[in-house]
């Protein structure tokens, strides 16, 4: 699966949009871009937000939050979402959660779930679960992987995140989302005691390994089982390898 930290996501969403010719480098660039975040011209605001997708500066967080919540241009809001993921701060989490619930634009929500994963704040567990269960495929894709980054912080959060990931692995029509659910289960189940939730997750991964029609999902389920190290999962992998089925 793609890395949850892959900043190429924003280039896939917006295309290549280089900074303006003559943009200064280093500290001068940062100062210039901070001023442009509040510029009247929407193109300047978007360019500045894009800059902070690749550069960290704590001073950018508050103006980026304002862009995310209030800019009329969806392209600027997308850029602000990814920039807040790059400049991860607990200050941004309430705004990100609010935008995830309210923004009409799926590309913005996709950037928001990526940013929430990078922020790693447990307040995002329930909003990410809701996105995984109800949103469009592009948002569900990254909600699945972001849950692993957020829910690993607390046992209670892991317990809330695993059941919807199991449902996503078993039921989602998009193979890429099933793969991300498998990956996240592999991350989270390592932190779980051997209980009913854990056993159900392992069973779901074994089912995906044996029954899923997509090769990529099978590979991610296998990798997750190896990462967890559950004896039943390892035994199934060994049996399938012996029979030449994987």
- Residue 46 in contact with residue 75, Cβ under 8 Å? yes
180-193: b (≥16 Cβ within 10 Å) or e: bbbbbbbbbbeebe
Alpha carbon distances (Å) from 32 to 48, 60, 130, 225: 8, 11, 38, 49
pLDDT in tens, 148-184: 999 887 899 999 999 999 999 999 999 999 999 999 9
Q: How far apart are CA 175 and CA 128, in angstroms?
A: 19
Alpha carbon distances (Å) from 126 to 168, 198, 245: 15, 19, 38
CATH number at residue 48: 1.25.10
Evaluate whether residue 22 is within a structural domain: yes
Answer positive or negative: Cα dihedral of 105, 110, 111, 112.
Answer: positive
pTM (predicted TM-score) = 0.88
Tally of domains in the chain: 2
44-56 mean pLDDT: 96
Say what the pLDDT of residue 207 is: 97
Evaluate whether residue 131 is within a structural domain: no
Domain that holds residue 196: 153-246
pLDDT in tens, 196-208: 999 999 999 999 9
Domain limit, last residue, from 44, 71, 92: 92
Evaluate whether residue 228 is within a structural domain: yes
One domain, residues 87 and 157: no
Q: How confident is the model at residue 18 (pLDDT cuts 50, 70, 90)?
A: very low
83-97 mean pLDDT: 98
Q: How far is CA 121 from the centre of its chain?
A: 13
């Amino acid at each position: 699966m793609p890395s949850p930290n892959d900043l190429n996501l924003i280039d896939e969403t917006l295309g290549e949009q280089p900074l303006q010719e003559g943009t200064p480098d280093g500290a001068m660039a940062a100062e210039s871009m901070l001023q442009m975040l509040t510029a009247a011209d929407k193109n300047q605001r978007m360019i500045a937000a894009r800059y902070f997708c690749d550069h960290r500066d704590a001073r950018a967080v508050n103006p980026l939050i304002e862009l995310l919540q209030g800019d009329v241009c969806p392209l600027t809001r997308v850029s602000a979402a990814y920039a807040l993921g790059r400049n991860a701060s607990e200050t941004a989490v309430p705004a990100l959660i609010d935008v995830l619930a309210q923004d009409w634009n799926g590309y913005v929500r996709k950037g928001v779930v990526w940013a929430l994963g990078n922020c790693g704040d447990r307040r995002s567990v329930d909003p990410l679960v809701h996105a995984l269960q109800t949103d469009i495929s592009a948002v569900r894709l990254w909600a699945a992987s972001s849950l692993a980054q957020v829910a690993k912080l607390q046992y209670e959060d892991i317990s809330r995140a695993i059941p919807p990931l199991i449902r996503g692995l078993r039921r989602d029509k998009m193979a890429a989302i099933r793969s991300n659910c498998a990956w996240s289960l592999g991350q989270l189940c390592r932190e779980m005691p051997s209980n009913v939730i854990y056993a159900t997750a392992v069973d779901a991964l074994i089912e995906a390994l044996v029954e899923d029609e997509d090769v990529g999902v099978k590979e991610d389920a296998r990798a997750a089982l190896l990462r967890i190290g559950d004896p039943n999962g390892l035994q199934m992998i060994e049996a399938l390898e012996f029979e030449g089925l994987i």
